[in-house]
Chain A
Amino acid sequence: MKISLNWLRRYIDLEASVDEIQRGLTLLGFEVEGIQQTGLSEMPGLVIGEILTREKHPNADRLSVCSVRIDASGEPQQIVCGAPNCDAGCKVVVATPGCVLPGNFKIKKSRIRGVESNGMMCSARELGLGDDHDGIITLDTGALPGTPAHEVLGDGDVIFDIEVTPNRPDALSHLGIARELAAWFDRPLQYPHTHFEAPAEDLAEAGHRLLEDVAVLADEACPLYTAHVIEGVKIAPSPRWLQEHLTAIGLRPINNVVDITNFVLHETGQPLHAFDAAKIRGRRLIIRHAENGEKIVTLDDKERTLSRNDLVIADAERALVVAGIMGGADAEVDDTTVDLVLEAAYFKPIGVRRTSRALGLSSDSSYRFERGVDPRGVLPAARRAIDLILEIAGGRVLGPVHIVGSEPVWEREIRLSPDFVRERLGFAIADEEQQALLGRLELDASRVEEDDDGRKTFVVSIPSWRSDLDRPIDLVEEILRVYGTDRIPATRPVAGAVVSEDDPIARYIRSANTALVGKGFLEVMNYTLRSAEEIATWSTAAACEELKIENPLAEDQSHLRVSLVPGLLDTIRFNQAHGNLDGLFFETGRTFREEGGEIYEMVSVAFAIAQPEDAAAWKRREAPDFYYAKRLVLELAALAGMNIRDDQFRLVDGDGPWQAGHAATVDGGKAGYEAALGLVDLALTRRLDIDGPVLAGSFSILPERLRGGSRIPRSRPVSAFPAASRDLALVCDEATPAATVHNALARAVRKAVNNAFDIEAIRLFDVYRGKGVEEGRKSLAFTMTFRAADRTLKDEEVARVFEAVQAAMEAAGFPVRR
């Protein structure tokens, strides 16, 4: 919203500088998004000067020493200047000592490189008149030296572009902002006087000839509608002051009547509408909902199709105005208008907002109705406009005044304890000061009640334009705003520590992150929303249906992600395409899993290792393979408190995103986790234009399964006696998973040892195919380590176990290779 400083000055006597006003607005909660200075406003000490002589500075090449006349009779002043264009004879703008330029730049007498300088000749930028700083301003003017600069550099105004929060519709006007500044600077606010009260007695019924009747058929959307009839106006251009105010805030002057309605809108915040009475057919105004499909051409020359939800002001035949939003071309006030009907009404915010959004049409009027205008300000605004119309455009008001509905009853009081204010603020503002601060905002807190213990309560009456104030805490904010948030004392924080730990999710992600960064992986972040194609590839068609967003914005961001790996593939592709050599990436984040028609949010960690074929290096390292990925997945699972057994890994043997025969999946079942790892399908990586294979892995777990790692371990003594070990090679089919043999061996060992001593480890150390083993079979070699806590194991007892184990394995179909 644009606010003109000159316009504000109609209501408040502001001595403050532009910077001080900006600071006041900012600290009151009205963010100043921009300040535009037109012309030059009055600045004490800023005058026209005439350069009499120019000489080179004795100690600086680029500086000149000028003699400048800055008043009609006195001595010329010596001023040092760095501008290239400070030639003798020029008329310039001089800031004399004591003058304060924009940016709170105070001019003082000074010595510049040893030469006295009594002021400054100004560039456009230094005066806030633009960006030009290549030289000083030179003027073609007959004005005498000493003339205040603003008299020459024109009718200055300052336009503030202010953001008003949605809870403050009362501030959407010059009076509203002036009221806030009056509170901030503690200055009186002068409301404009209104003279008009009622039509002359002899004209009390004369208006019927122009407007017979006003009917509100939708009083829930329009609780108050008023119409005044004015006859015999003379349409003409507005006077200069009115045009200047409107152009200052970016409005185009149209004619005196339209300009007055705009002026009153921006003065009071109450939108008004003027009809050409001659164009109202049937001498009736009807406030009704539109018919479905009803059309209206609005003032912006666009045809709008309305619906039952939209409120219109119509005459006997057609819609003339989209209520509260924009007038139609049909009843516009133009040069031929003689008689007027002036509308001032209260339209409910919800209806205006809906229609504005449905039509994609907003205006200064709808902006205010949507946020809520002061219902008690409707008639005063109409009277203010009538005063101005009669004064500027002539004419007279004919009765009756049509008022349909009524001003709502407004009576609101908030009981506020000054102790409560201090308790919530955490610092002391005395009772009297609290009352004064509220009073400056026209919140009358002069009524005080006192209970038997002498505790005071202010009874604060709330004006109708501040319907946002409803509770004591709301007044705490008002007191603080006017007191100044910059005066909140700086204190040291009180750490009222609570016995509590970080959420297990946060702890898990942090530890997974640390583990992968420690192994050389770079953390990346990809978007949560992914394409349908990707979800279909990495999940099932059914899941793809379930994981769709209802209102996606972009086609490639339409589904919840099921895996972090595709994002990592994007990362690899992007970096390969840009010649970046790094190939180790990981991401943590939420993924989504469809199961049985329900979606589960999962906590995921995934990594990917690009292995481009031509990665040149002076020394080759063995490339990480599936078993490296497995080690990482096991670690990620362990950090989540999950111990994945070898026999849980299932070989991928079908089509999908993973390469058949070179990848595996893990389903944690009831434990609520899943993992996938290995080579990404080679056809897929090729399709993605990735150079070389990609080794990847991911681990996902239901967040509720994460418990955090606060288990306290229990220590046991370690045995001081030597271990005994035996090696055993077992033959099985090529297709038999090692874990099957391993598990069978573990069972056999447990049975044979029968708790006689400890089985310290059963470790697979060799896989052999070839001579001595039949085609299609393989030999797996294990080392078994035994130990007792209390003695050295005897050969015989170990041999007995070894015999039994061999026999058991032979019996289980795993012949011993000797």
Chain B
Amino acid sequence: MQEKLNELISRAREEVAAVKTRPQFEAFKAAYVGPRGSLTALMKTLGQLPKEERPAAGRLINEAKQQVQAILDEALAAIERAELEARLGPPIDPTLPTPDPLPGNRHPITLVRDEICRILARLGFTVREGPEIETEYYCFDALCTPAEHPARDTQDTYYLPREVRFGNVSRKNPDERYLMRTHTSSVQIRTLLAEKPPVRILSPGRVFRRDTADATHSANFHQIEGLVVDRGITVCDLKATLDYLFQSLLGKEARTRFRPHYFGYTEPSFEVDFSAAHLKKLGREWVEIMGCGMVDPAVLEEVGLDPEEWSGFAFGLGVERIAMTLYGVEDIRNFYTNDVRFLRQFA
């Protein structure tokens, strides 16, 4: 028995080398442990042995069976491994370029807008939105723009025909004209009429001027205006806020310079220049960047606030202008040409 079993196992070890596929495996398996298999046949002879030999022979057969099973398991594992490898195909070349498109990215105007909003959010500012189509009241009257002011002229501002009606842009006076907003200060008026101070808001958005397009003018561009109305707001607070903005944006050594200026809706009013390390390399010390001031008492009165009790500041900056200064873009039209070679520079 022992010899027969040894012979059987060594034959199985020889034959298994040729087993490469599942049908071969099934045939191989049947040849040993199938109903007609050689090991099965040997097992069947067990009954014919004398009683006293049976336990020893049974042990031997069991051992042989385990050995055969191990050979079978190994053969099956090898076949499965081969099948898996066949399914995976040849190895990849990790240096081949990905055929998938590059990641997306935001437009530089969005990047600058989001960055400024993010910085000022740390000082408690939240964003307010308003319509791009505005009315004379919210865009001019409430901001104390004189009736004769050139900004109102059809030379400078886009108007809609008198008969046009808007379903979701409210008018203060039934006969006032609709226009394309020239600044987002109109959002400040709508906010002050809708919310009670303290107010600490930013109004980013698209604005329109009737300008012939050139390197520094665009039919539409983007602004971010900020407004704070609270008790005891001072010029110092305004300066501190803008210093914080520019130092966050351009580095701790950035500085701002306030120059007295004139705007109809702030008093005192300032133009702001900033100075930062990267400008000195360009040979410029101060670059004009925005306008700001303390909210004019007349504007507070217009929205029903007592200027004795409340004060505030407002500032407005051009997003394109900041982006041009920050990134060294020379022509504002680049922002609207959408050339991928340009847009990808901000990824």
Q: Is B159 an interface residue (CB 8 A)?
A: yes
A582 contacts across to B, CB distance below 8 A: 101-102, 340, 344
- Nearest A residue to B341 by beta-carbon distance? A580
Contact of A552 (CB < 8 Å), options: B158, B234, B240, B258: B158
A551 in contact with B127 given A29-B259, A526-B338, A590-B206 (CB within 8 Å): no
Give the docked Cα–Cα distance between A730 and B35 (Å).
Answer: 47
For A25-43 the 0/1 string (1 means CB < 8 A from B) is 0111101000000000000
A676 CB → nearest B CB, Å: 20
Q: Is B230 an interface residue (CB 8 A)?
A: yes
Contact of B236 (CB < 8 Å), options: A481, A488, A517, A527: A488
B43 CB → nearest A CB, Å: 41
A521 contacts across to B, CB distance below 8 A: 104
For A760-795 the 0/1 string (1 means CB < 8 A from B) is 000000000000000000000000000000000000
Contact A600 B262 (CB under 8 A): no
A469-520 at interface with B (beta carbon < 8 Å): 471, 473-474, 476-477, 480-481, 485-486, 488-498, 500-503, 505-506, 510, 513, 516-520
Contact A621 B99 (CB under 8 A): yes
Contact of B262 (CB < 8 Å), options: A168, A522, A570, A619: A168
Give the docked Cα–Cα distance between A428 and B344 (Å).
Answer: 50
Q: Is A74 an interface residue (CB 8 A)?
A: no
Give the docked Cα–Cα distance between A485 and B270 (Å).
Answer: 9
B343 contacts across to A, CB distance below 8 A: 522-524
Q: Is B124 an interface residue (CB 8 A)?
A: yes
Q: Is A620 an interface residue (CB 8 A)?
A: yes
For A547-582 the 0/1 string (1 means CB < 8 A from B) is 011111110010010000000001100110010111
Q: Is A702 an interface residue (CB 8 A)?
A: yes
Contact B126 A500 (CB under 8 A): yes
Contact A598 B219 (CB under 8 A): no
B105 CB → nearest A CB, Å: 6
Give the docked Cα–Cα distance between A502 and B202 (Å).
Answer: 9
- Nearest A residue to B154 by beta-carbon distance? A551
Q: Is A303 an interface residue (CB 8 A)?
A: no
Contact of B208 (CB < 8 Å), options: A27, A528, A574: A528
B211 contacts across to A, CB distance below 8 A: 553
Contact B338 A525 (CB under 8 A): yes
A505 in contact with B103 given A488-B239, A549-B159 (CB within 8 Å): no
For B112-142 the 0/1 string (1 means CB < 8 A from A) is 0010010000111011110111000000000
Contact of B259 (CB < 8 Å), options: A31, A495, A578, A584: A31
For B178-216 the 0/1 string (1 means CB < 8 A from A) is 001000000000000000001111001010101110000
B219-269 at interface with A (beta carbon < 8 Å): 219-220, 228, 230, 232, 234-237, 239-241, 243-244, 257-262, 267-269
A–B complex contacts, Cβ < 8 Å, 27 sampled: A424-B294, A425-B234, A474-B267, A477-B260, A477-B267, A489-B236, A493-B237, A497-B123, A500-B126, A519-B104, A520-B104, A523-B110, A525-B335, A525-B336, A526-B336, A527-B220, A529-B158, A529-B208, A548-B161, A580-B340, A582-B340, A590-B206, A601-B132, A601-B166, A703-B129, A703-B131, A703-B168
* Chain A residues within 8 Å of B, Cβ to Cβ: 26-29, 31, 165-168, 350, 353, 423-427, 471, 473-474, 476-477, 480-481, 485-486, 488-498, 500-503, 505-506, 510, 513, 516-529, 546, 548-554, 557, 560, 570-571, 574-575, 578, 580-586, 589-590, 592, 595, 597-601, 617-621, 702-704
* Chain B residues within 8 Å of A, Cβ to Cβ: 96-97, 99-107, 109-110, 114, 117, 122-124, 126-129, 131-133, 148, 154, 158-162, 164-169, 180, 198-201, 204, 206, 208, 210-212, 219-220, 228, 230, 232, 234-237, 239-241, 243-244, 257-262, 267-271, 294, 296-297, 311, 335-341, 343-344
